[in-house]
Structure 1
Amino acid sequence: MWIAIVGYLAIAALSIVVLPHIFHQLKWYHITVIYAFAPTLAFCNAYGCGLTDWSLASTYGKLAIFIVGAWAGGENGGVLAGLAACGVMMNIVSTASDLMQDFKTGYMTLASPRSMFVSQVIGTAMGCIISPCVFWLFYQAFSDLGTPGSEYPAPYALIYRNMAVLGVEGFSALPRHCLALCYGFFGAAIVINGIRDAVGKDKAKFIPIPMAMAIPFYIGGYFAIDMCVGSLILFVWSKVNKAKAAAFGPAVASGLICGDGIWTLPSSILALVGVKPPICMKFLSRAANMKVDQFLSSS
């Protein structure tokens, strides 16, 4: 316990000294308040993640955005202060849930808790070096990184920035009828979930889950397509061999997810050195496809 307390206080002191020099809008007292309340929120996140396998670190980060952004004020760079505070809070809170998941995995695989903790420290140290390098690689390879409509639009960046603006300027910064739509969809989600709980499991499977419907609107349609294709593969596999699908389905899904993520690194390297793909594939509407065919036939 004393190692955890001393380590946390040392990291807090380091953050209080260093972070204001990186983000001038974030003051030392903002960071002090974050580190004072973060252990309680980290415990809540670890407990909830252990029950549901779902980390809500981003939710606590949004809480820091609104509080610190409003505290700093728009004239003092409240938007950047809120975003920086969000990063600090999310790193603290997500670490607790990550440790929970890692120790749970170690318990299931009969691994030593000490070796799991040492591995976590090594992985964190590697991330401090690898993450900035990967970001620099993306930043250099894709000049339009974060631009809507580009290959990597970074939708989270736009969402979190708008939340920071909302925390500084209040509800007046929202578009017209935006708040009314939020209230309406929030109420509709509660009603649909209530109906699902009331009708029983047999009928509930025919009622859509509001959270699943909301994810594509939140992070983009590509995620819904990936999940749809993956679910279809698992469904067909279950029909062919239910036992193997139940045993190896999570492992295959993890491999596909990791493979998709790992490919972004060589893709960035190829883009950085100017390599162009030999074949391009696009999905077009019927009208656009007819125009393309007409252009190709005329040329």
Structure 2
Amino acid sequence: MDPISPTYSRAAILEAEDEEEGNGEFDGVEEEQVIEGDFTFRAVFTGLLVGVLICATNLYLGLQSGWVSMMALQSALVGFALLKVIPDALPRLFPRIRTFTPQENVILQTVAVATGTMPLAAGLVGIIPALEMMTVEQDGRGPISLSYVNLVLWCLAVAFFGVFLAAPLRRQVIIKEKLVFPSGTATAQLIALLHKAPPPSRGFATPTVAYRALSRSSRSLSRERGINGEQAANNHKGKAQDIMGGSGWWVLGISFAASGGLTLLSFMFPIIFSIPIFDLLGLPFGTYPASEWMWYFTPSLSYVGQGIIMGFPVTLSMNAGMLVGWAILSPLSKHMGWAPGKVSSTNDGARGWILWIALAIMIAESIISLLPITISYISTSIRHYKQRQTGPKVFQSSSPGNSMDGDYFEPLSDEDDDPEIEPPERLVPFSWIKWGLGGSGLLGVGLVWYVFGSDGIRPWATAIGLVLASVLSLIGVRALGETDLNPVSGIGKISQLLFAVLQPNNVVANIIAGGVAEAGAQQAGDLMQDLKTGHLLHASPRSQFYGQLIGSLASVFVSSAGYKFYTSVYQIPGPQFTVPSAGVWLNLARLLNKGHLPSHVIPFMLIFSMFFTFTSSIKSLRPYLSSYPLILNLIPYLPSGIAFAVGFLNSPSFSLARLIGGYVSYRTSRNNGGETPLLAIVAASGFVLGEGVVSVVMLCMSSAGLGPVSCFGCGLGDGGYCSGGCL
């Protein structure tokens, strides 16, 4: 949900721009250029190829650990390599007709992101597995398993509504309010760097993280900002040398090959990815082997790469949660008889017991983070309304091709209200938006009713879910633009709470309605990041709109096929793919529909939720604490509640591997102005993509009946890959 992008120091950007302005080559933001010809076949086709790769990676990572990535930065990097670096190196084999432009790269990464994020938008790593986990005893009906055709129809139901939601918000939040959208801004800076173009703006982006927890708690887990909310970023020229000198592409290729090779080796010898080194320690697990408590080590380069991109503070929070959840609360619940089942069980085992504490933490932090931006949005809307009512007005008539289909007026007194810089033919007509929202809404309501029937969710309830997505997406997009955090977890939980009243005693309706509302808000936020990137690099908004529609449509079939492929080969949930986010969705739906909590878990839920309510409130009040330097100095050291909770959801092996990557990020950033070097991020991208791509190869091998070469050392406790590969 999910990108870290290189950021540049304000001084470096201004210095570069001043030099270019002095030479008459670049006139900052005052002189806007319109670049034509960005929507090309090669950009769209390459974007689809890269998007399919990202889609496969996100399916694999999401089903395994509940964590995915938007990967806009990786899309731009790989696309640049495919259309610029490779033709330059092999001109006879890959001749270029014309120069690959930054604007084409924007379209490429837009298509790739729309294709790659469908597993999250359609709930293939959360909602759909949750429906398959239902039982007659607990939910009143058996599991719901969709066929490939019905899965395609479900994906079609939620694929386009968010795209049409994003288009009309662009003018307000990007043109008028100039929200920074840190990840989108930083991706634009990277594309400009790759193409040796002038820096796209005088602004700078705060460092962010690429990965999103599939509790859908956020667009990303943002690193804590410094005292003034601004941190030093990477040096522009140094980063350019890293990439342009060719070393970056060698690093990307080597890291991709290393990660893929290790993953393939683990398929042949599963013990590699479930090394029981903690059995030598014993404590705090008494006489039981540590592996029976899910303590083993997975040397996955993909998760090391995730740790590099997340950064040290986030991985520290995650590992703090891992220690509290898996080394303290898990043994406690088992020994006290509160979770008598198998440790790995999400029903009556320690894993299911601590999951409720994680859910309480996520809800507390998500809602608290949602409140300030909600208040800000309401107050801003009221202020703008009063200005429009009292200020002088200028009327502008619509014209053929105009982006607005009717007369509209603007208050002349609003100094922040800049005119649209794009000509009408490059904008998305307002009539398209109106018909698109209506058509995609009707399509969604009809397809959801067809797929799940009257026993699932009523058509009127689906329609309410879409309306809720429309309203809450305004808040989510604004939050994303200001903080790089989209509080879609809060949106999902609000939807589930609402539908517990609208359609009580219906777990299916509760899950689907929450997913529909969240999908629209999440997709609108993700696509708004792309529009910010395109705005800074002068790519056509209409071309990006086409790219988003094409990528979303293609991913409907790719994502559905990938999910059915995984479920046909592996047990889901199972030893290798635990699908932790599905448990969060299902357990909350059960609780809201006359469910009950495990024994003695409520006091722990209250204690941890109160603690993270407090820490989240302190972070939200940061702008008002300038008179309290002691508190401001402590804020960067407060743990991230979402990351802490993910430490509960994932088994320790994943968190430990991420901690290694976080430490690498910390060490490499010490001599780089406090920011992870771009070359390290390139290596991390190779690590993540390598394991994701080879996982598809492993899937094909498993479906063909191939298995491990040796199961030596397997069968120890709940050893993830090991036990899954050797069963």
Task: State yes or no: 1:152 paired with 2:580.
Answer: no
> 1:202-242 CA deviation, whole Å, 9 max, x = no partner?
55555544443222113443442243121122233335766
Which amino acid is the alignment partner of residue 667 of structure 2? V
**Greater RCO, CA 8 A, separation 6+:** 2
8 A contact 1:66–1:168 mirrored in 2: no
Task: State yes or no: 1:186 paired with 2:609.
Answer: yes
Q: Give the distance between the partners of 1:34 and 1:207, measured in 2 at CA.
A: 35
- TM-score w.r.t. the length of structure 2 is 0.35
Larger Rg: 2
Task: State yes or no: 1:141 paired with 2:569.
Answer: yes
Residue ranges of structure 1 left out of the alignment (5+ in a row): 288-299
8 A contact 1:64–1:85 mirrored in 2: yes
Decide which structure has greater helix share: 1
8 A contact 2:668–2:677 mirrored in 1: no
Which amino acid is the alignment partner of residue 247 of structure 1? L
Cα-Cα RMSD: 3.1
- TM-score w.r.t. the length of structure 1 is 0.80
Which amino acid is the alignment partner of residue 139 of structure 1? T
Identify the residue that residue 689 of structure 2 maps to in structure 1.
258
Identify the residue that residue 459 of structure 2 maps to in structure 1.
28
Alpha carbons of structure 1 residues 21 and 191: separation in structure 2 relative to 1, 3 Å: closer
Alignment of 1:32-181 (within 5 A): 32-74=463-505, 78-142=506-570, 144-147=571-574, 150-169=575-594, 173-181=596-604
Which amino acid is the alignment partner of residue 607 of structure 2? G
**Number of residue equivalences:** 279
Q: Give the distance between the partners of 1:193 and 1:165, measured in 2 at CA.
A: 27
Q: Give the distance between the partners of 2:592 and 2:597, measured in 1 at CA.
A: 11
Q: Give the distance between the partners of 2:512 and 2:638, measured in 1 at CA.
A: 40
Cα distance, 1:8 vs. partner? Answer: 0.9
> 1:93-152 CA deviation, whole Å, 9 max, x = no partner?
11210111111222344433222221111110111110110011001110x2113xx110
Which amino acid is the alignment partner of residue 165 of structure 1? R
Q: Give the distance between the partners of 2:655 and 2:713, measured in 1 at CA.
A: 18
SS at match of 1:278: coil
Task: State yes or no: 1:13 paired with 2:442.
Answer: yes
8 A contact 1:20–1:26 mirrored in 2: yes
> 1:10-47 CA deviation, whole Å, 9 max, x = no partner?
11112222211211211011012122222111111111
Alpha carbons of structure 1 residues 146 and 70: separation in structure 2 relative to 1, 3 Å: farther
Cα distance, 1:186 vs. partner? Answer: 1.6
Among all aligned residue pairs of Structure 1 and Structure 2, give the percentage whose two residues are the same amino acid. 22
Which amino acid is the alignment partner of residue 15 of structure 1? G
Q: Give the distance between the partners of 2:634 and 2:712, measured in 1 at CA.
A: 41
8 A contact 1:79–1:164 mirrored in 2: yes
Which amino acid is the alignment partner of residue 587 of structure 2? N
Task: State yes or no: 1:229 paired with 2:660.
Answer: yes
Q: Give the distance between the partners of 2:671 and 2:511, measured in 1 at CA.
A: 48
8 A contact 1:61–1:90 mirrored in 2: yes
8 A contact 2:445–2:462 mirrored in 1: yes
8 A contact 1:138–1:268 mirrored in 2: yes
8 A contact 2:531–2:541 mirrored in 1: yes
8 A contact 2:465–2:514 mirrored in 1: no
Residue ranges of structure 2 left out of the alignment (5+ in a row): 1-429, 623-627, 718-727
Alpha carbons of structure 1 residues 54 and 274: separation in structure 2 relative to 1, 3 Å: farther
Task: State yes or no: 1:4 paired with 2:427.
Answer: no
